[in-house]
Amino acid sequence: MKSTWNIAVLMGGTSAEREVSLRSGAAVMAALEHLGHRVQAVDPNGQDLLLPEAVDVVFLALHGTYGEDGQIQEQLERMGIAYTGSGPASSRLAFDKVAAKRRFMQCNLSTPPFHVISDPAALMPTDLGLPLVVKPADQGSSVGLHFIHQAEQWPTAIAQVIGLGSQALVERCVKGRELTVAILGDRAQPIVEIIPKDAAAYDYQHKYTVGATDYVCPANLDQNLTLRCQQLALEAFRVLGCEGYGRVDVLLDGDEPTLLEVNTLPGMTETSLLPMAAKASGMGFGELCHWMVQDAISRHPRGSATQNIKTLNPKT
């Protein structure tokens, strides 16, 4: 396998996470260029996908819809082009938080109890108690995340969340330590503990504002609890059929870990957690990006794209 490649970094896109994706893509491009790869940025519009000629591999730095939801992966599969991250089916499953949680429950993996609501005028469920977590079933990066501490907060929150998509996921709010476990290949990386500085939830603002959150990596857990959290994360990754790399969010209630979700294209910004975990295991950012590209090519051995390949969005 050659050591340098022609790489198209897909970044930006049309989702609510466009700005974060652009930041991820810029960081990845800089790292890959520094390693001597030939790198070009591609900002897909969700309809036609145009790639530079002689592309060896696509690095997916997209987040959210038409990035993590399997659409772009389906296009690249049809084009016969290697790409980073999970395949179409597992990407689609992980992105659908409701379907993912149902799979966890089928496989006896711990996850908070929940309801799915599609009516913005629906009454607040009472069987889960308070507080509640309300979020879109098909968005990432904590987009649209609401915490309900009082019943009066419900009508506004449910209307806003359903306004972002067709369904809202309503979960029991589990109190505990917020952890995330990065996965590279078949290995769990050192655990990151997430501690928002103002004791608020780890929402979109805390996630992408430098200095708003403290991180401890490796998390201060004993060896047995560390292994339990890592094993739960690996099992979640596997039961969704994910490949390559990802990040699994876990809540630790006392000494009981419970699953929140699996992120198939985690952020690659200056505040992102997968690079932080990789660094704790001795892998620098450039080495991490190189590993992701090499992993993609090894799992997609069908060759590079032809000149100016064009394909239509599956929805059209």
Q: Can you give the CATH number for the domain in which 159 is found?
A: 3.30.1490.20
Active site residue 17: yes
Last residue of a domain, one of 172, 197, 221: 172
Sign of CA dihedral 196, 200, 203, 208: negative
Active site residue 208: yes
Could you say which of 15, 141, 272, 304 is catalytic? 141
pTM: 0.88
Q: What is the pLDDT of residue 163?
A: 87
CA-wise closest residue to 272 among 6, 31, 80, 107: 31
Q: What is the pLDDT of residue 35?
A: 96
Active site residue 3: no
Q: What is the pLDDT of residue 271?
A: 76
Could you say which of 177, 267, 272, 295 is catalytic? 267
Q: Would you say residue 235 has pLDDT above 90?
A: yes
Q: Would you say residue 211 has pLDDT above 70?
A: no
**Which percentage of the chain shows pLDDT scores above 90?**
77
Do the domain assignments include residue 99?
A: yes
Do the domain assignments include residue 97?
A: yes
Task: Verify that 99 and 143 share a domain, yes or no.
Answer: no
CA-wise closest residue to 61 among 238, 267, 252: 267
Q: What is the pLDDT of residue 199?
A: 56
Task: Verify that 189 and 269 share a domain, yes or no.
Answer: yes
Active site residue 249: yes
Query: Which domain range does residue 36 map to?
Result: 6-85+285-312
Task: Verify that 184 and 97 share a domain, yes or no.
Answer: yes
Do the domain assignments include residue 1?
A: no
Task: Verify that 56 and 134 share a domain, yes or no.
Answer: no
Task: Verify that 153 and 179 share a domain, yes or no.
Answer: no
Could you say which of 261, 272, 295, 304 is catalytic? 261
Task: Verify that 49 and 128 share a domain, yes or no.
Answer: no
State the total domains in the chain: 3
Q: Would you say residue 50 has pLDDT above 80?
A: yes
Could you say which of 68, 69, 249, 295 is catalytic? 249
Q: Which residues does 261 contact at the CB level (< 8 Å), separation at least 6?
A: 94, 97, 100, 248, 249
Residue 13, classed as helix, strand or coil, is: coil
Task: Verify that 261 and 295 share a domain, yes or no.
Answer: no
Q: State how far the Cα of 236 lies from the Cα of 103, in Å rounded to an integer.
A: 9
Could you say which of 12, 13, 15, 17 is catalytic? 17
